[in-house]
Structure formats: structure tokens, C-alpha cells
Amino acid sequence: MKILHTADVHLREPDDERWQALEEILEIAEREKIDLLAISGDLFDTENIGEQLRPRISNLFSRRGFKILLIPGNHDREVFGKGYYFGDSVHVFRNLEEPLDLEDLKIWGFPFTDLEGPELLRYLRKIKKGSNQASQVLLFHGELLDAFFQRKDFGDEGGSRYLPVRLSYFEGLGLDYVLAGHFHSELRIWEISGGGSFIYSGSPVSVTRRERGPRKVNLLQPGEGPVEIELKSRFFQQVSVEISPFEDEDPVGKVKRKMGVLPDNAMPLLEVRGFVDGNKLGKNEEQVINEIKNLAVEYNAEENSYIEIRDVGMILEEDLFKSFEEKLERIEHPDQNDLWEMALRARLEVKK
């Protein structure tokens, strides 16, 4: 039994990049000949959008060679609570009391609710440990407290807690996998004491700048470890460049080299810091910064860039620094550039 796992698609409009990511996931499901596609909450970005897109989704999710499993998330739970039709290949879990039995696999769905603490823990105990032969899977949409995430790792959720759980809540339930949604940043896996894995798939498209690195879906077969499959959807990628006046490489060329290796679907988050020697470059501080800004435009990073560069050419011409250079050359220290940087920063502090 092969399962493909994703979550937090947050559909907004037909045929936009999020819709295209969902179509790619369906193509992967066909290619991998899966049996089940598990979407662990927040298929839609809002309940109103879910109402509008439901007819198109029902067509998209029909006539598939695999079953599509859905649970409501905190963004779209009311859409699924009305008994609407989502396609002839779809099974919606609307409560925890009605698991789905498929051959040697029992699947439970935990729709998003406002439970927490002891009440939530008691509700989870509705899961009954199956026979030794049957694997058990739980679809879940909520917040894993053990992970020590920041609020931004869950998308634009504000400061509220959403169905908060700990790994210990799942101990003794006989679950092989908890296929979870709500955490956007990346695909992450934790082991549950006593057996089983808790897995966040991450969002299939970067919704916020916290969602960095290639987007992925999770392919698994009970009894085997998960396999990550990379998507073609857009993602944010941090590009940090340190500029030093003691390097031979042109600073603008260095930024271009680092940006040039990114794949086409990467959205750079460019951060450039450091110092330049305007005398050595034949360019002043303003010219260097403007050239880097033009690069940011070329690589579609103009709105996601931070540039902090200072021209220290005049300081490097001071007698103090020339004397320091002579002494440093006699020492033949292996980290000369680091010592230069330390001396330069100290000089700039004094200059303040």
C-alpha cells in the first residue's frame, strides 16, 4: 500500500501556482502508482474560497486510480462540515470515530478542532490499537509542541495555538505514522517513543518567506522509511554573501556567482553584508550597491533583498593600517583576512 502525503496547499484561485502544485502532486501520484493520497488539512486558504473552488476540485479529484483522503484544517473546516461532494475518489474524515479500513491498513482522520490539553488527549484515546497485522495511520492537522517552532513556521497564523499536541500523546496508540499538516516550513520527521513516526510534509508552495528550500511531498509504504519527492513549485532560498575588501574576487561578481547557481523555481532572499575598497575597485560605495540592486532585479529578488556595504578605502590608506599590514605579512598568520576584518571593525567602532 503506497501513500503520498502532503498538506497546506492553501488553494486560492484556479490555475495559479498553488493549483499547479496540486496538479503536479496528482501527476506524481499517478506516476508512482500510489494507492492513497493523504492531504492533511488546509486544502483551501479560506472557507469562502473552498465554497467557490469545490466544483472544480470535485472534477479534479474524480476518476483517479487512487483514493484521496482529506481532513479539515483550521482554514477550511467549515467547508468540509457541510457534507459537500469533493469527487468520486475522495474520502473526507469528519470525525475520529469512523476510521477507514483498507486491506491491511487502518486509517484514522482527526479533523481540526479547538480541543487542547487533557480533553484533546482523551479524544485521541478513541483510537483503538489494531491487530498486529494491520498498519495504522492517523491524518492530523495541528501544532507539535515538542518541535519548538516559531509562530511564523506555521504560515500566517498569528499568535494562537492550533490543536497543540506532544509526541507523548500518540504513545501506545499503535500508530505507524501520524501524517500531519499545519507546519509549513519544511518536511520534518520525529520518532514516537514506542514506535511510529510523526511527519509534517511542509507546504507544497512557499506561502511565506519562512518556507525555504525546495518543496516536497512524502511517499511511504508501511514498514519502510519515508521517501522525499521534490516538487517543481516555487520556493524561497536564502542567499547570504559576505563581502571583504581583502578578497580578489569582485564583490558584484561574487553575488552574481551565488545567485547564478539557483534553480529557476527559486525565489532568492538576498542578504549582502561587508566592506569594499573603493580605491582598489575603481567604484564607490553607491556604484557597488546599485550594481548589486540591479542584480537583485535580474534575479527577481528586488523585494527580498538586504544590502549593507561600506566603503573603507580611505581607512585602509591610513598609516595605522599600512603598519598593521606590514606586521601581519611578517607573522604569516593562516587567517590573515579574519585578522584584517577584526582590525577593520575595531577601527570603525573607534571612528563612531
CA dihedral 263, 18, 12, 111 (to 10 degrees): -130
Going by C-alpha positions, the residue among 201, 309, 213, 180 that lies closest to residue 255 is 309
Q: How far apart are CA 274 and CA 308, in angstroms?
A: 7
Residue 315 has pLDDT above 80, yes or no: no
pLDDT at residue 227 in the model: 94
Options 3.40.50.1100, 3.40.50.720, 3.60.21.10, 3.30.365.10; CATH for 3-230 is 3.60.21.10
Q: How far apart are CA 161 and CA 143, in angstroms?
A: 7
Q: Is 141 helix (H, G, I), strand (E, B) or coil?
A: strand
Going by C-alpha positions, the residue among 204, 179, 10, 48 that lies closest to residue 110 is 179
As a whole number, the mean pLDDT across the chain is: 88
pLDDT at residue 160 in the model: 61
In the chain, where the domains are located = 3-230, 235-351
What pTM was computed for the model? 0.85
Q: How far apart are CA 151 and CA 351, in angstroms?
A: 40
Beta strand ranges found along the chain (DSSP E):
3-6, 36-39, 67-70, 90-92, 100-102, 105-110, 135-141, 143-144, 164-165, 177-181, 188-191, 197-200, 216-220, 227-230, 235-243, 266-276, 305-311
Confidence of residue 248 (pLDDT cuts 50, 70, 90): confident
Residue 149 has pLDDT above 80, yes or no: no
Of residues 158 and 312, more confidently modeled: 312
Q: Which of 94-98, 110-114, 115-119, 329-333 has the lowest mean pLDDT?
A: 329-333
Average pLDDT over residues 38-55: 95
pLDDT at residue 5 in the model: 98
Confidence of residue 304 (pLDDT cuts 50, 70, 90): confident
DSSP state of 253: H
Looking at the DSSP bridge assignments, the partners of residue 139 are: 109, 179
pLDDT at residue 208 in the model: 86
Confidence of residue 150 (pLDDT cuts 50, 70, 90): low
Three-state helix/strand/coil letters over 75-129: CCHHHHCCCCCCCCCEEECCCCCCCEEECCEEEEEECCCCCCHHHHHHHHCCCCC
Q: Is 171 helix (H, G, I), strand (E, B) or coil?
A: coil
